[in-house]
Amino acid sequence: MTPNGHTVLITGGATGIGFALAKQFHNAGNQVILVGRREDVLQQAAAQLSGCRYAVADVSKAEDRERLARDFADVNVLINNAAIQYTKPLAEQTDAEIVQEIDINLTAPVLLTQAFMSVLQAKPSAAVVNVSSGLAIVPKETCALYCATKAALHSYSQVLRWQLEATHVRVFEILPPMVATPLSQGKGHANLKISPDELAAEFWRDFQRDHYEIMVGKSKWLYWINRISATLGQRIMRKGL
């Protein structure tokens, strides 16, 4: 993909990975639209990026997805980044928590992409960027549904890429390691985390080279360890690294 000339909509764009990606695109001369549920946080983030637009929306709601596709028909790069994670045993998760985690992490990006499909296909160059996780490769015991939804998003990204390969819409996937964001606060080892800006910089290099499956940092290690020995990969992740 070319580095500029895009209009980019980023869900969960006001903090963490989303905001780091927003800065990367903005600094390269692209138009950026931040999407999130809290207007105060969106305002603070947008104020740091000259000309940045934002929209308050809950992407797990059909009416909000439809409104975004209707109001931002100039978008040609859609980044599905918003996600939540519950770290508790499955037996302790409520029905509402289970539904919410699946809705936000999997159903929402699939249906938001569907809502924007005609918008994207009308552009001479377009892209969908799904932020999954290194945990799509090997799951972690403490966050079963998060891993399951990211593994499903990984599979969805592969198939969507195949189905759209004859069109102008390219499908990218970012598989991050543990990143120092509010979602990972108090989890894992601090010295094993990378910063959101480090992730965005690595993504940016591969995005311009049309590397569609972007494994960042230690996700590459996990991929190769799992290829060599799935048992070893599982043992590492069960230790909570």
Instruction: Give the span between the Cα atoms of 21 and 32, in whole angstroms.
Output: 10
Asked if pLDDT for residue 23 goes beyond 60, the answer is yes
Annotated catalytic residue 54: no
7-238 maps to CATH 3.40.50.720 = yes
**pLDDT at residue 139, rounded to an integer:** 84
Instruction: Give the span between the Cα atoms of 3 and 30, in whole angstroms.
Output: 8
**pLDDT at residue 179, rounded to an integer:** 81
Catalytic residue among 146, 156, 212, 223: 146
Give 209: exposed, middle or buried? Use CB within 10 Å, 0-12, 13-18, 19+: exposed
Q: What is the pLDDT of residues 118-148, one digit of tens each?
A: 999 999 999 999 999 999 888 888 899 999 9
- Every domain of the chain and the residues it spans: 7-238
Tokens coding 121: 């296909």
Find out whether 176 and 203 touch, Cβ atoms under 8 Å. Answer: no
Measured CA distances, 116 to 54, 126, 212 (Å): 17, 11, 19
- What is the pairing mode between strands 169-175 and 31-36? unpaired
**pLDDT at residue 154, rounded to an integer:** 97
Q: Determine if the pTM surpasses 0.75.
A: yes
